[in-house]
Amino acid sequence: MENDDARARLVEAGRALVDAIGRTGVDDAALTEAADRLRSVEALLRAIEHERVPRITYDDAVGMEAYSWQRWNVVLPHLEMRFDGIKGSAELPEGLNELYEGPTGLLHGGISVVLIDALVTSLAQFHGLRNVTAGLTINFRKPTLLHTPLTVEAVLEEVHDRKVIVSGSLVSDGKTTVEATAVLVRVER
Ligand SMILES: CCCCCCCCCCCCCCCC(=O)SCCNC(=O)CCNC(=O)[C@H](O)C(C)(C)COP(=O)(O)OP(=O)(O)OC[C@H]1O[C@@H](n2cnc3c(N)ncnc32)[C@H](O)[C@@H]1OP(=O)(O)O
C-alpha cells in the first residue's frame, strides 16, 4: 500500500477541487481547459487501480476505538469516529459547506441522515454486531447551519437476537438539530 501522507495530500487536493468546481465562475474556454487537464490527471491515477476505495474491513473494525470513515473518499464527508463502550461520536469541527446544502444556508437533511447512519451502524460494528440498517426514524428538530461545528452522536440502546436499536443525533454548535432511532438487523456476510 502507498504512503498514507501522499494519499492524504491527494484527497485534500481532491476535496478542494470538488469545492472549486462547484463554485467556479470562469469562462467556457477555461472550463474546457480544466476538463481536459482533469482527464489527464484521471489517466495518471488510473495507471494502477484498487477494485474498491480502500477501507478497513467489517471484521477488522470490531473493537477499534477510533475509525476513520470515508477518509479516502472525496465525495462524502470524512468522519473521525470514536467509540467508548455503548457510545460513539464524531466531530466535524468546521461543519459542512454549500456542497451539502439543502435549504439556503442549511445542511441538506439527507446528508444529516448519512452522517447519523454511518455512525450508528459503525457503533454496532464496533461491538461485533455485523449489521445493515433495516429502519431509520428521523426527526429534524432544528435547522442545521452550514459552516458550523457538528458532532454526530450514537448510543447503543438495545441488543436483541437479530435486531439492534441504536439512537443517533446531530449536534450543531451545541444544539441537537436531528434525532434518530435506527433498527439494525444482524447479517452473516
Ligand atoms: C469501528 C467501526 C468500523 C466500521 C467499518 C466498516 C463499516 C461498518 C458499517 C456497518 C455496516 C454498514 C451498513 C451501512 C448502513 C447501510 O447503508 S445498510 C444499506 C441499507 N440497508 C439495506 O440495504 C437493507 C436491506 N434490507 C434487507 O436486507 C432485509 O430487509 C433485512 C434488513 C436483512 C431484514 O431481512 P430478514 O433477514 O428477512 O430479516 P427479518 O426476519 O425480516 O427481520 C429480522 C428482525 O428485524 C426486524 N425488522 C426488519 N426490518 C425492520 C424494519 N424496517 N423496522 C423495524 N424492524 C425491522 C424484524 O421485525 C425482525 O425482528 P425480530 O422478529 O427478530 O424481533
CB-ligand 1 contact for 183 (6 Å cutoff): yes
State residue 31 phi and psi, 5-degree precision.
-60, -40
Residue identified by cell 434525532 is 179
- The dihedrals phi and psi of 119, each to the nearest 5 degrees, come to -75, -45
Residue nearest atom 36 in ligand 1 by C-alpha distance = 185
Cα radius of gyration (the chain)? 19
Cα–Cα distance, 126 to 147 (Å, whole number): 29
Name beta bridge partners: 170: 152, 178
| pTM for the full predicted model | 0.91
| Ligand 1 center from residue 7 Cα (angstroms) | 33
Task: Say if residues 136 and 173 touch (Cβ distance below 8 Å).
Answer: no
Q: Does the Cβ of 64 fall within 6 Å of ligand 1?
A: yes
Q: How far is CA 8 from the centre of its chain?
A: 16
**pLDDT tens-place string over residues 82-125:** 999 999 999 999 999 999 999 999 999 999 999 999 999 999 99
Check if the interface score ipTM surpasses 0.90.
no
Q: Does residue 100's CB lie within 6 angstroms of at least one atom of ligand 1?
A: no
- Closest residue to atom 38 of ligand 1, CA basis: 185
In angstroms, the CA 163 to CA 165 distance is: 7
Place of cell 466535524: 92
Tens digits of residue pLDDT in 139-155: 999 999 999 999 999 99
